[in-house]
């Protein structure tokens, strides 16, 4: 693909383009020597209490075939390389809502050839669905869902020029199709659909006014041309994964915000903090040409108003979204909440960039059902994870004492603070999931082509080892941790690897994957991660779907289910070629799964003659049984 076509790339592909993998290097031979498959597995045995759990499944059995299917209500399906979705026998899928579907009756119908018009663009379901959560409000089912980014080649088929918006109107159209949709859904004769014109329906875009709260609110670092007081922010950007608070609000997580900003002054010198966060002179969408807000040579603090966790009340369409700066600023993937035994709220969060960090926030106040929750996400401590080789770990507090930074600086430049305390550089932390039926949490580490061969943007080393045991890791793994004293607020934990993705037909070393990866279930790049009410771990992938080379036999992106007790993993769903499977929630009766298909290729799901449409699908059992 030409560089000029870069907006047709996924975010991952664009990032690879901008930060290419270095040529061969000295580390390769070191890794070959250190990471034979046998060596890797015996290393795992040495791990702490978690290894005992793994030992019953992954390591105690002599072959993958010894894993017994016990908890899966479906027969696993093979890989696919075609342009549609596949689910197991006895299950069916159907689109529920697609890019461009009207939320309000005053929106124009979607045009399969030209897409969405500017006038309708904030009245329809946006593009590139990602994190998704469902809420029950009285008799209503409300869904909040992210629109991570837009493909300009898809959204601007008429005017698209060199992958960037050609006019201010183009830029506005793109801005409107991102952000968040809140919508009421209902099941009719034709299946699940949006309740058009429901009073709960709402679009939140890159222009919706938001509040800033917590330590950075009002600080000099967030004072902008539009708000010299630094108490508000304009819109939300690159809304990736999601979260749900115990009190029933939606958390949307701002990931690759840096790409929306550029400079009309090509000679502008970047600050170290801008460089650390990837804010640069060349914007991905060209917005800076049309609006000073996106031009860091004119409004240098505007990027500091992005990169946060945003709380939205899905039951109040007039509410102002809140950016909680106490939860730190980085490329937020998702936000997984837990309640400590004493009632404090814990929020786990990954920073999805090569060799950045895994964080948690612990509130000072305690959650009381029905009580005041307004301070819980503003008043507390941000921690960052340090993993030790022996299977233990520590959450390091980011405080003025530990970092030499003010509370506002720790919030705005959390990466810098985390580097200061010596956190563990990770293989791109994507979604975190908290188990509902054991005191444990899991994080998908999607891949890291620079592990062991280049430092992160802050200069931190990326040693091979611990939860990141493979150099130039192109397959990814899932780490899980068990908080000390069965308390998510405790600063200590033990950890192990739940799975290491790999390709056992191509490799016989660590790159073949852990023992619960077989020729029959293999995948790469775990990303979305949700644990259902029965404790099954649902794994969604966003990886290389070429089905060639190191990825041969892995097919399109997919969704698998894992049993944490035995380690076994079965493939449940395959997505259309070119697309990513991301975002999962359930209907109130747990008889339908809502699953996101992002940036599909071809003509998914409408067929010949239509632009490809990012879609939330509904999956159910043909016997209408429970599904999670």
254 binds ligand FEO (CB under 6 A): no
- Report the length, in residues, of the chain: 628
Quick count: other Cβ atoms within 10 Å of Cβ 368?
A: 11
Nearer to Ca ion by Cβ, of 184 and 542: the residue is 542
Q: Which of 255, 378, 496, 563 binds ligand FEO (CB under 6 A)?
A: 255
Determine the Cα–Cα distance for residues 506 and 46; give it in Å rounded to an integer: 27
CA-based nearest residue to 277, from 298, 302, 314: 302
Question: Which sign does the torsion angle of CA 507, 509, 513, 516 carry?
Answer: positive
Q: What does DSSP assign to residue 58?
A: I
Beta-ladder partners of 347? 337, 361
Binding track over 137-156 against ligand FEO, x by CB under 6 A: -----------x--------
Residues in contact with ligand FEO, counted by CB under 6 A, come to a total of 7
State the minimum distance, in angstroms, from the CB of residue 468 to ligand FEO. Answer: 16
Residues in 228-247 that interact with ligand FEO by CB under 6 A: 240
Which helix (H) or strand (E) segment is 410 a member of?
Answer: helix 407-412
Binding track over 299-338 against ligand FEO, x by CB under 6 A: ----------------------------------x-----
Binding track over 418-457 against Ca ion, x by CB under 5 A: ------------x---------------------------
Nearer to ligand FEO by Cβ, of 345 and 529: the residue is 529
Q: Which of 127, 133, 184, 527 binds Ca ion (CB under 5 A)?
A: 527
- Nearest residue relative to Ca ion (C-beta): 542
352 binds ligand FEO (CB under 6 A): yes
State the minimum distance, in angstroms, from the CB of residue 445 to ligand FEO. Answer: 11
Determine the Cα–Cα distance for residues 330 and 356; give it in Å rounded to an integer: 9
545 binding partner (options ligand FEO, Ca ion, none; Cβ < 5 to 8 Å by kind): none
Q: 3-state DSSP: the chain helix, strand, coil percent, rounded to 5?
A: 15, 30, 50
Residues in 533-592 that interact with Ca ion by CB under 5 A: 542
CA-based nearest residue to 391, from 34, 50, 40: 50
Residue 176 contacts residue 147 (beta carbons within 8 Å): no
State the minimum distance, in angstroms, from the CB of residue 353 to ligand FEO. Answer: 9
Q: Helix, strand, or coil here: 3?
A: helix
State the minimum distance, in angstroms, from the CB of residue 182 to ligand FEO. Answer: 20
288 binding partner (options Ca ion, ligand FEO, none; Cβ < 5 to 8 Å by kind): none
353 binds Ca ion (CB under 5 A): no
Nearer to ligand FEO by Cβ, of 120 and 614: the residue is 614
Beta strands in 552-604 (DSSP E): 558-562, 569-574, 580-586, 592-598
State the minimum distance, in angstroms, from the CB of residue 148 to ligand FEO. Answer: 6
544 binds ligand FEO (CB under 6 A): no
Determine the Cα–Cα distance for residues 482 and 547; give it in Å rounded to an integer: 35
Residues in 476-535 that interact with ligand FEO by CB under 6 A: 527
Residue 466 contacts residue 481 (beta carbons within 8 Å): no
State the minimum distance, in angstroms, from the CB of residue 581 to Ca ion. Answer: 10
From first CA to last CA, the distance across the chain in angstroms is 40
State the minimum distance, in angstroms, from the CB of residue 527 to ligand FEO. Answer: 6
Contacts of 269 (CB under 8 A, 6+ apart): none
Determine the Cα–Cα distance for residues 523 and 181; give it in Å rounded to an integer: 30
Contacts of 554 (CB under 8 A, 6+ apart): 79, 503, 522, 523, 524, 543, 544, 545, 547
573 binds ligand FEO (CB under 6 A): no
Binding residues (CB under 6 A) for ligand FEO: these are: 148, 240, 255, 333, 352, 430, 527
Binding residues (CB under 5 A) for Ca ion: these are: 430, 527, 542
């Amino acid at each position: 693909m030409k560089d000029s076509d870069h907006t047709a790339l996924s975010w991952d592909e664009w990032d690879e383009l901008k930060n290419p993998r270095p040529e061969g290097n000295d580390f390769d031979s070191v890794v070959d020597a250190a990471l034979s498959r046998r060596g890797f597995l015996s290393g795992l045995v040495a791990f702490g209490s978690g290894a005992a759990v793994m030992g019953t499944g992954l390591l105690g059995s002599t072959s993958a075939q010894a894993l017994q299917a016990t908890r899966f209500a479906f027969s696993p399906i093979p890989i696919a390389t075609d342009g549609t979705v596949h689910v197991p026998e006895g299950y069916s899928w159907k689109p529920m809502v697609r890019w461009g579907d009207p939320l309000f009756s005053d929106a124009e119908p979607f045009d399969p050839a030209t897409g969405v018009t500017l006038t309708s663009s904030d009245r329809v379901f946006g593009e590139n669905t990602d994190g998704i959560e469902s809420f029950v409000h009285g008799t209503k089912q409300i869904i909040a869902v992210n629109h991570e980014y837009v493909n300009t080649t898809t959204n601007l088929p008429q005017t698209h020029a060199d992958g960037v918006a050609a006019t201010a109107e183009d830029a506005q159209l793109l801005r409107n199709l991102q952000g968040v949709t809140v919508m009421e859904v209902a099941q009719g004769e034709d299946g699940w659909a949006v309740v058009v014109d429901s009073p709960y329906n709402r679009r939140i875009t890159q222009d919706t006014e938001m509040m800033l709260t917590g330590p950075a609110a009002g600080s000099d670092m967030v004072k902008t041309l539009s708000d010299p007081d630094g108490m508000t922010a304009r819109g939300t950007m690159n809304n990736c994964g999601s979260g749900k608070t115990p009190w029933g609000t939606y958390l949307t997580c701002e990931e690759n915000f840096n790409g929306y900003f550029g400079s009309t002054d090509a000679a502008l010198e970047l600050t170290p903090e801008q460089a650390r966060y990837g804010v640069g002179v060349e914007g991905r969408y060209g917005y800076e040409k049309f609006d000073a807000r996106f031009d860091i040579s004119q409004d240098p603090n505007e990027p500091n108003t992005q990169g946060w966790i945003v709380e939205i009340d899905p039951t109040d369409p007039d509410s102002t979204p809140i950016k909680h700066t106490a939860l730190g600023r980085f490329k937020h993937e998702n936000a997984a909440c837990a309640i400590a035994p004493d009632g404090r709220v814990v929020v786990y969060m990954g920073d999805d960039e090569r060799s950045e960090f895994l964080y948690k926030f612990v509130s000072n106040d305690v959650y009381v059902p029905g009580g005041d929750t307004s301070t819980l996400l503003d008043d507390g401590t941000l921690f960052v994870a340090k993993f030790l080789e022996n299977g233990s770990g520590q959450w390091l507090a980011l405080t003025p004492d530990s970092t030499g930074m003010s509370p506002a600086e720790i919030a705005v430049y959390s990466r810098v603070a985390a580097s200061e305390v010596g956190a563990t550089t990770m293989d791109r932390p994507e979604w975190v999931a908290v188990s509902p039926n054991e005191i444990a949490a899991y994080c998908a580490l999607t891949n890291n082509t620079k592990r062991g061969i280049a430092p992160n943007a802050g200069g931190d080393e990326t040693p091979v080892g611990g939860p990141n045991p493979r150099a130039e890791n192109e397959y990814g793994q899932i780490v899980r941790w068990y908080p000390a004293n069965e308390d998510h607020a405790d600063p200590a934990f033990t950890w192990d690897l739940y799975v290491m993705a790999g390709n056992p037909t191509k490799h016989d070393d660590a790159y073949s994957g852990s023992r619960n990866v077989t020729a029959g279930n293999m995948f790469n790049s775990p990303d979305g991660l949700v644990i259902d009410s029965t404790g099954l771990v649902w794994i969604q992938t966003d990886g290389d779907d070429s089905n060639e080379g190191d990825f041969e036999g892995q097919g399109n992106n997919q969704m698998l289910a894992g049993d944490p007790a035995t380690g076994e993993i079965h493939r449940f769903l395959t997505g259309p070629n070119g697309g990513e499977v991301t975002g999962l929630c359930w209907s109130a009766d747990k008889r339908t799964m809502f699953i996101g298909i992002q940036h599909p290729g071809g003509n998914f799901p409408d067929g010949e003659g239509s632009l490809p449409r990012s879609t939330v699908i509904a999956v159910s059992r043909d016997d209408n049984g429970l599904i999670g």
